Structure 1
Amino acid sequence: MNRLIGLFLMVLLSASCAKEENLIPDLPVNFSAPLTDPRLSRLSTAGGAVSLTGYGVAGIIIYRRADNAYVAYDRCSTVNPEKKNAVIVDDPSLTATDQVSGAKYSLYDGSPVKAPAKTSLKKYTVIITSSTIQVSN
């Protein structure tokens, strides 16, 4: 009986210590547009962000950081990702919020800044060539 209880406790502890995984599905993302595209007008200055639908799981967010680097994330919240709740860019555009769970994420690096989020937003590759931006995975 003691062996059974010990085994049960070991299984319970190993399950609770398991690393949280980012369960956002891997869908093909291939967005490309000139930086002069009117949909991207908010990216003309540092700190600007745009949300686009039709890409990834719940759309994508492209953010222009203060160092003028561009980053892109899937809008799918990492809290209950199976529900595919899209995060909304806050004003000012330093964070994005899952309006269902209340979780917040930094747009600088996608990291969680408010519980219940524990995992960063799914990040995509951004390439700038001359006057075109491309987001892909």
Structure 2
Amino acid sequence: MSKIYIGFILFFSFSLLSCAKDGANIIPDVPVNFSAPINDPRLSRLNGAGGAVVISGYGYAGLILYRRPDGAIVAYDRCSTVNPLNKCQLNLSDPTITATDPCSGAIFLLSDGSPAKAPATRPLKQYQVTVTSFQISVLN
């Protein structure tokens, strides 16, 4: 009976430890409500495919807005998913098809947010984008 009890305690302890470690690598949820006129000069790089801009003051560590080759605009949190509690802000590459974590060296594809170079294993946190003929909005 005591072997079963010890086995149960060990299994439960390992389960808790693995959950805690995994949860530490998740970017915290924060309210995002960014809105700007579509002709805002800060967004001019989004006029062509492959264009990207950084918007500070929104999300956990800022926003990256990117116009994919198909014309859709996507928004990501600027925080790297490698050790997100460090709040390391991604830098845009030139040309802007990737973003690099200056703290770990990880690289992410902006077309879908997926990790392109280790140590990244999780995609970038993505937010909902709405574009009308007059305005662009990023919400969560």
With the shorter chain as reference, the TM-score category is 0.7 to 0.9
99, 107, 114: which one pairs with 1:104?
107
**1:71 maps onto 2:74 in alignment:** yes
Identity %: 58
Structure 2: how far apart are the matches of 1:27 and 1:14? 27
What TM-score, normalized by structure 2, do the two folds share?
0.85
Structure 1, unaligned runs of 5 or more: none
Say if 1:62 and 1:71, in contact at 8 Å, map to a contact too: yes
Q: 2:85 — aligned with what?
A: 82
Q: 2:49 — aligned with what?
A: 46
Q: 1:25 — aligned with what?
A: 28
RMSD (CA atoms): 2.2
**1:58 maps onto 2:77 in alignment:** no
**In the TM superposition, what is the alpha-carbon distance from 1:131 to its structure 2 partner?**
2.3
Normalized per residue, the structure richer in helix is 2
Partner-residue secondary structure (3-state), 1:40: helix
Structure 1: how far apart are the matches of 2:62 and 2:10? 41
Structure 2, unaligned runs of 5 or more: none
What TM-score, normalized by structure 1, do the two folds share?
0.87
1:83-118 deviation per Cα after TM superposition (whole angstroms, max 9, x unaligned): 100111111100000001001111001111100001
Partner-residue secondary structure (3-state), 1:71: strand
Matched residues, number: 136
